[in-house]
Structure 1
């Protein structure tokens, strides 16, 4: 890995402060669209640097770092945590609690590394604010809430983000991943999948378990639907296309000798192409309706929970930023990624303006962990990236990307 001393843009004192940012954020996560303390922490940092800012999309924070005439560049860092109980053994482990929309109290953890994203962007911002003689233009700092629920980016757009902030010409973003710290992966074109999540409610006729002839059993109906849904990918989608259909929850009944009158399940769909997405979603609706008809049950209810857009990296902008990252981090530390079936709402920020965007991944674990065969993945209760060189890599990548577009 390239030695960080080759890139003196982040002084040692600031690297220590970045570590403090990260530890504070990691120990104090908040659930999606509830990031009140996190937003206040970011605002205090922007205030200390004399950077104007405003709230957007509820708990989102938009900073505007102006420095004369020049390009306008956006950079996004998401900041929400997850309902996960952390089991990692670090001394800044989260013991936070939060409340879901349904009132359930849950443990909260930064189990997807959003704390590293925020700490890295805060640090890159501080470098640029302290070195205004070397660049000119405007940086739009997008500290986004609610990525995990696909709510945050659209909430910021709907709240007038681009009516209140200068229009970015390009928007960058990044995400820590289970990979070698100090390395970056980026790919042009379709990078991360569409994701559609639905809740399905099945209706039946309740009866005693000994009198099935008097029932319409929603559990049997649901089991038939769940099994049949798996044939969409295996029998309706071309082998060279990508799709995933997952039923993540199934709830029904209160007692073993009562056939209930309803059942509920939730499903998640991942696709990489518009046509495939449309086909899969239509097939799901067809199967749900047909199985209900076959069971003599009423038409089920389908509720859309959330939707992630396709995350598309503009090819020209990606080629340019790949070269920039290789110069900043070392040729050997920047590789080409494979498209991922994970999802991101980052793309909504650029789509609202019709401008290009690029999103890349950076590694978060030491070589021993990577080679151990038991490296934690995102959303694991053990997903705690090593602070260094992970943070330095994220901050350096953000700084390099921004400097590459700002006038010198």
Structure 2
């Protein structure tokens, strides 16, 4: 039942890549909090803090697509190495500015935007290398380990970052982030060359974003991985309503809202920790449909409960279901896609993962204002279940997808 560590034991390259990503992700999460705290200290404006997200979102979406095309054109190891070095250098810039007492919001916004651009270029390159380092049967375990990295970093990083800033200041947090990137740089440095494997007749043709989108249009199983995720993240994503329901439903305050935000992350982490059985599942499409439907049901039930601990339990169940869905979606995307298309489809994956929750926040907030938080949350969860059911009826072959004979 516990997480399968086979990928870490069998591949030194993957082990270094995973450790480097885990350490650097923790540093990035620390920096993200430190930047938000510093912007608020300079401006005293929550709106200015909110702009940090905008300056991060736009480069992630724009460069996510083009980063995938670049990863399908050039050596992915070199691309990962250059962008990791760029992220390290940007953390050094923040640290130097903090040590020098140069506190300017425009500098923080600029660095955040450049960091997002580097991440959008780094992620498709790094993720598309994993199927070259591991056999197909180990991909679910590797993606489960990756989900643990993301979730634990998101949970632990801000807590550690808050302590570091509180005791030693912003410069310490930024300096620690710069140091942690050396782990990612070392992991990339030790990898072999990772040039994309071209399909017959492609030669050295430069990869095109449009070609990637055309390919996606002809591959219903891969396309369904994005559709199902959008059902959950757009229709049933109640995060924007947590501050309101913390007060209205549970009589709490900001701490209560923080507990609601943390509950899905705890469930997601537990889903990764107890992921040992993932490798025995071959019907990945069916697993995705069931887990996304489980997310919708858990969110719908959360909208009906008025007990805080019971509500957090169902949010944790939703987070666990999301981990299961993410692992099998990522595995299908890696296994059923030709190597010379993996970067571009990973770029689309970034856009969906980043953009979907933002659309979900907007939809949930709009529906709640027009009706009530209960209608927005419970109705959104039920809409997710219905939408997934309709997709399953439309593309019946998705539920029959077999990992032993992957078909895009």
TM-score higher than 0.5 = no
Which structure has the larger Rg over C-alpha atoms?
1
**Structure with a larger share of its residues in strand:** 1
**Structure with a larger share of its residues in helix:** 2
TM-score by length of 1: 0.26
TM-score by length of 2: 0.26
